[in-house]
Amino acid sequence: MLEVKGVYKTFNQGTINEKVALNGINLTLNDGDFVTVIGGNGAGKSTLLNMITGVYPVDCGSIKIDGVDITKLPEHKRAKYFGRVFQDPMTGTAADMQIEENMALAARRGKPRTLNFGIKKSERNEYRELLARLGLGLEDRLTSKVGLLSGGQRQAITLLMATMQNPKLLLLDEHTAALDPQTASKVLNITEELVSEGKITTLMITHNMKDAIRLGNRLIMMDKGKIIYDISGEEKKKLKVSDLMDLFAKASNGEFANDRMLLG
């Protein structure tokens, strides 16, 4: 369903800060895939997501979704295909707007914005039910400003917003990295639930190797702008953290195995 072909991206080309972020990426996702992506800092994981969603243009290569070439579409026009949750809990929601207003904005992703009221009455009940499922007590706070909520609450709402329209592809960019361990695991549980329920094709970047192994049916490892390892099915199930560590060591001569990975 997603087809990334020969994508290259270099930042600050021709300057002293030149950085090759993506160095010939080829990636095909099948319907219903739940892919976890791991790799060191600067491996190009986030850049890959930003290329798919159109935050920056690609240098060359093509990106197709369900056969539609979206390589040249501006970010807001391809947003209808994607649900996104970002690493920074502040990025996914509008802080000065109410919870229900944020959700109504997401419910209209890919639709024209008219002069009809921004939220219909029937929607409110729907949102209340969705929020109740999070078990965070947010269902009674529909009109609270999102800026008053904690990072975990905001990530949970962003997840709801990203999945409520059943996107073709859900993109999670280390969405639990900024949360404390307890909150992170709660948000991860919500993620699993929403993804399996909607059978949403998902691409999840994570720094936590255990999560990368435990979740999903396929695992991708990136290094220096390339996919260096792609494993799925039974083979992935047998994978251990130590196997990944060995692979990292081989790929980058040990540079990659920092404390954060080991502790994660």
Partner 1 sequence: MLGFFTALPGAAAQGIIWGIMAIGVYITYRVLDLADLTVDGSIGTGGAVLVMCTIGGMDIRIAMVVAFLAGCLAGLMTGIFHTVFGIPAILSGILTQLALYSVNLRILGGKANQTLSVMKYDLIVSLRDIPNAIVIGLIFTACVIAVLYWFFGTEMGHSIRATGCNAAMARANGINTNSRKIIGLVLSNGIVALSGALLSQYQGFADVNMGRGAIVIGLAAVIIGEVIFGKIFKNFALRLAGVMFGGIIYYAVITLVLRLGLNANDLKLFSALVVALFLAVPYWKGKVLPKQVKTQKRGV
Question: Interface with partner 1 by CB under 8 A: which residues?
Answer: 53, 74-77, 79-80, 82, 84, 86, 90-97, 101, 104-106, 108-111, 113-118, 136-137, 150, 152-153, 156, 161, 182-183, 186-187
Distances in whole angstroms, Cα of residue 224 to Cα of each of 18, 141, 194, 195: 13, 44, 32, 29
Name the minimum Å distance from CB 29 to partner 1. Answer: 19
Query: Looking at the DSSP assignment, which residues form a beta bridge with residue 222?
Result: 39, 227
For 33, the token pair is 């895939």
Closer residue to partner 1, CB minimum distance, 96 or 234: 96
Closer residue to partner 1, CB minimum distance, 47 or 53: 53
Closer residue to partner 1, CB minimum distance, 162 or 231: 162
Name the minimum Å distance from CB 18 to partner 1. Answer: 23
Distances in whole angstroms, Cα of residue 175 to Cα of each of 85, 100, 236: 6, 21, 22
Alpha helices by DSSP H, listed for 199-238, are 209-214, 233-237
Name the minimum Å distance from CB 73 to partner 1. Answer: 11
Name the minimum Å distance from CB 11 to partner 1. Answer: 18
Closer residue to partner 1, CB minimum distance, 55 or 60: 55
Query: What does the DSSP assignment read for 3-35?
Result: EEEEEEEEESTTSTT-EEEEEEEEEEE-TT-EE
Name the minimum Å distance from CB 118 to partner 1. Answer: 4
User: Which among 20, 36, 1 is positioned nearest to 173, based on CA atoms?
Assistant: 36
Closer residue to partner 1, CB minimum distance, 94 or 249: 94
